[in-house]
């Protein structure tokens, strides 16, 4: 699911192609490319390992929702709808609890929480991917808010 210009962030905040903000972002193509590339590799990997594509979309949606970013929440909820809900149960409950903890109160995460993820079948690779998705969507929210503010300032 690699997108072409405009990238996801520009689509989320409604930046018009060739607008001053789009042109400003184009001056830093590596940042734009790596931000979109991170989305693609974390949310749409060719080999998702033991963390399914639907679980990845659910994690991203939960982080965007916890951050209060409606447009990113809609994007990830749509991705989840396309992929279908992951199976309900202890595994998903444990993943959700960990995502909420890391997204909202990361200092409260303990080794026992990692052990709980392992106990429901996540490998070290899966736990790293889960954590990267939380970190990436948190970054994405901050970037989207900052870009939206820049777009408002350019329009004023």
Ramachandran region, residue 50 (left: φ > 0; alpha: ψ -120 to 50; beta: rest) = alpha
pLDDT in tens, 35-53: 889 999 999 999 999 999 9
| 77 inside domain | yes
pLDDT at residue 2, as a whole number: 35
Q: What total of structural domains would you count in the chain?
A: 1
pLDDT at residue 53, as a whole number: 97
In this prediction the pTM is: 0.89
Percentage of the chain modeled with pLDDT above 90 = 69
Q: Domain of 30: which CATH number?
A: 1.20.1290.10
| 68 inside domain | yes
pLDDT in tens, 108-127: 999 999 999 999 999 999 99
| 2 inside domain | no
Please state, in angstroms and rounded to a whole number, the distance separating the CA atoms of residues 102 and 85.
22
| 19 inside domain | yes
The total of other beta-carbon atoms located within 10 Å of residue 61's CB is: 22
| 1 inside domain | no
Ramachandran region, residue 63 (left: φ > 0; alpha: ψ -120 to 50; beta: rest) = alpha
pLDDT in tens, 130-149: 999 999 999 999 999 998 88
Lowest mean pLDDT among 2-6, 65-69, 138-142: 2-6
| 3 inside domain | no
| 34 inside domain | yes
pLDDT band at 4 (very low <50, low <70, confident <90, very high): very low
| 90 inside domain | yes
> Residue 20's closest CA among 156, 155, 140?
155
CA separation, residue 105 to residues 55, 89, 108, 110 (Å) = 21, 23, 6, 11
Q: 101: domain range?
A: 8-155
Give SS3 for 27.
coil
pLDDT band at 6 (very low <50, low <70, confident <90, very high): low
């Amino acid at each position: 699911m690699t997108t072409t210009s405009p990238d996801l962030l520009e689509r989320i905040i409604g930046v018009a192609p060739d607008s001053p903000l789009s042109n400003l972002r184009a001056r830093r193509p590596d940042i734009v490319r790596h931000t979109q590339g991170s989305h693609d590799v974390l949310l749409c990997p060719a080999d998702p390992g033991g963390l399914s594509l639907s679980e990845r979309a659910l994690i991203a949606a939960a982080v965007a929702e916890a951050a209060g970013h409606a447009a990113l929440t809609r994007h990830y909820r749509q991705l989840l709808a396309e992929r279908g809900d992951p199976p309900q149960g202890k595994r998903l409950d444990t993943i959700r609890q960990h995502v909420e903890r890391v997204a909202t109160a990361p200092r409260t995460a303990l080794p026992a929480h990692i052990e709980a993820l392992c106990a429901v079948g996540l490998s070290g690779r899966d736990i790293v991917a889960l954590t990267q998705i939380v970190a990436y969507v948190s970054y994405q929210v901050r970037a989207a808010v900052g870009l939206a503010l820049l777009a408002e300032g350019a329009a004023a």
